Amino acid sequence: MASSTTPRRPANSGPELPERAHAQRVPAHRPSVNDPTGADRNTGIVLGAAVIAMGLFAGLSYTFTTAVMPGLTAADDRTLVDAMQQMIDNPVFPVTFLAAGALAVVALVQARRSGSPKIAGWIVASLALYTVWVVVTFAVHLPLNEDLKDAGDPAGIANISEVRDDFATPWVAWDIVRTLASTAAFGFLTWALVLRGRIRRAAP
């Protein structure tokens, strides 16, 4: 009489095969350091944040060049000196300045690790112009700011017209350079983000 016992399936056969095939397919979809479109999913977030920070940074420089300083230079000597003394120690400006540079550096590191030379190149160009802003600020504007602070209370400055001219003339002239540099840095960083989006969309 034939046996009614159902043959046992081997331990590694049957329904487990699809699972094994799926497990073998998964690594193919994981990000790779050689894949510029998926090496680091945080790259887009960091680069986007760098663009925002650089935009705020460039906008702040642009506002000073086109609105703040023209308004103050049109005012009387005491108003300009007093207003600039109050603005020199504003903490918002250095925080924005540091955030823009730090985020751009992180974005550059990520772009290089993901094997994206074109994106990295535009970020480098942005950081180069950012460096121009830094050099001009430390070489020209910070010393002028310190001299203005050391001048003391505007009400007690005997030669306030001279103090104003010594400060405002070079400060305004070099601020135009800073604005051009920071605006171009923002543009280059924005293009890096646009280029990254195009690469991701073109990837198979």
pLDDT digits 0-9 by tens, 96-134: 999 999 999 999 999 998 888 999 999 999 999 999 999
pLDDT in tens, 126-136: 999 999 999 99
- Answer whether 0.75 is exceeded by the pTM: yes
Looking from the CA of 30 toward its CB, the CA atoms found within 13 Å total 7
26 SS3 class:
helix
- Integer Cα distance of 115 and 47 in angstroms: 15
Residue type, 3: S
Provide, rounded to the nearest whole percent, the portion of the chain with pLDDT above 70.
79
What pLDDT, on a 0 to 100 scale, did the predictor assign at position 27? 44
Determine whether 57 is exposed, middle or buried from the number of CB atoms within 10 Å of its CB (0-12, 13-18, 19+).
Answer: buried
What mean pLDDT comes out for the span 40-50? 83
Does 37 have pLDDT greater than 60?
Answer: no
Spatial distance between the Cα atoms of 110 and 119, rounded to a whole number of angstroms:
10
Going through the chain in order, the beta strands assigned E by DSSP cover: none
CB 45 within 8 A of CB 110: no
pLDDT, residue 92, reads 85
The whole-number pLDDT of residue 40 equals 52
Lowest mean pLDDT: which of 1-15, 37-51, 100-114, 154-168?
A: 1-15
